[in-house]
């Protein structure tokens, strides 16, 4: 299953024929994200996320930003036992659930979809209705669609930023090794970070362009976020989960 789906299980296009009479009770808990250790991030989110998370770049081709949520592949350190999100900022990738705009195989069409496996989906009127009695989208569903469209626009801009980082040769493959105590060691790999020395050696005119586009600010937010690795490791000790 691709990154755009991740923890989604039963993604279905939203339609009047199938979802008339359906409502969605918005999640106040995030159990669905229990088994993820990273999620994608858009560039506009980076200054906010950098205050609490470690931001890296992941993926084949042109790596894009992601926040690290854990050091084990199936454990999110930012969730409490009751499913509460234990951080002030929640990435938009998480907040959009159970909806998403699914990209077609030809990369040309976006379709509004919902994860029908989400426990908040119902036909008993709990939460917000998807369609009204006139068989039109409710303001709630229209708002969801606008949010997802903006998310998609931000993601496209993020790809442009990452392409620039790659073209300038600033991204470098990284590997981090951790001692989690009790003899358990972990290695995080498959991600990239901006090489500070390469950034500082860029020509003055290139740096000026990055300043004007706010991309230098984003890059330093990423670099500053690397200091949050130690705070994330502290969550490992606090979680007291069994070793894999």
Q: Do residues 176 and 56 touch, judged by C-beta distance below 8 A?
A: no
Domain borders along the chain are 11-237
Q: Do residues 41 and 61 touch, judged by C-beta distance below 8 A?
A: no
Quote the CA–CA distance of 90 and 166 in Å, as a whole number. Answer: 27
pLDDT confidence bin for 148, thresholds 50/70/90: very high
Structure tokens at 110: 């976006």
Quote the CA–CA distance of 133 and 129 in Å, as a whole number. Answer: 10
Examine the pLDDT at 223 and tell me if it is beyond 80: yes
Whole-structure pTM value:
0.88
Write the pLDDT tens digit of every residue in 204-219.
999 999 999 999 999 9
Average pLDDT over residues 89-115: 90
Q: What is the pLDDT of residue 104?
A: 74
Q: Which range scores top for mean pLDDT: 20-29, 179-188, 198-207, 226-235?
A: 198-207
pLDDT confidence bin for 1, thresholds 50/70/90: very low
Q: 64-68 and 38-40: which strand pairing?
A: antiparallel
**Strands laid side by side in the 23-24 sheet:** 121-122, 23-24, 128-129
Q: Which of 21-25, 100-104, 176-180 has the lowest mean pLDDT?
A: 176-180
For every residue of 71-99, DSSP letters joined together read SSTT--TTB-TTS-B-SS---HHHHTTTE
pLDDT confidence bin for 2, thresholds 50/70/90: very low
Residues 28-53, buried b or exposed e (16+ Cβ, 10 A)?
eebebbeebbbbbbbbbbbbebbebb
Beta bridge partners of 17: none
């Amino acid at each position: 299953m691709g990154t755009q789906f991740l923890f989604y299980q039963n993604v279905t296009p939203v339609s009047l024929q199938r979802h008339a009479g359906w409502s969605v009770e918005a999640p106040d808990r995030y159990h669905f994200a229990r088994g993820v250790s990273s999620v994608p991030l858009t560039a506009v989110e980076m200054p906010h996320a950098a205050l609490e998370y470690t931001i890296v770049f992941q993926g084949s081709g042109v790596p894009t930003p992601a926040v690290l949520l854990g050091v084990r592949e199936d454990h999110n350190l930012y969730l409490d036992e009751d499913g509460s999100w234990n951080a002030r900022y929640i990435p938009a990738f998480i907040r959009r659930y159970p909806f998403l705009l699914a990209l077609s195989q030809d990369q040309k069409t976006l379709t509004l979809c919902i994860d029908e496996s989400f426990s908040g989906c119902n036909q008993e009127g709990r939460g917000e209705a998807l369609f009204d009695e006139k068989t039109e989208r409710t303001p709630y569903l229209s708002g969801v669609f606008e949010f997802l469209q903006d998310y998609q626009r931000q993601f496209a801009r993020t790809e442009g930023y990452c392409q620039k980082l790659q073209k300038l040769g600033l991204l470098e493959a990284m590997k981090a090794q951790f001692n989690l105590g009790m003899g358990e060691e972990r290695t995080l790999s498959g991600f990239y970070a901006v090489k500070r020395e390469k950034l500082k050696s860029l020509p003055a005119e290139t740096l000026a362009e990055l300043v004007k586009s706010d991309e230098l600010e984003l890059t330093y937010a990423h670099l500053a976020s690397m200091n949050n690795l130690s705070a994330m490791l502290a969550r490992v000790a606090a979680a007291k989960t069994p070793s894999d």
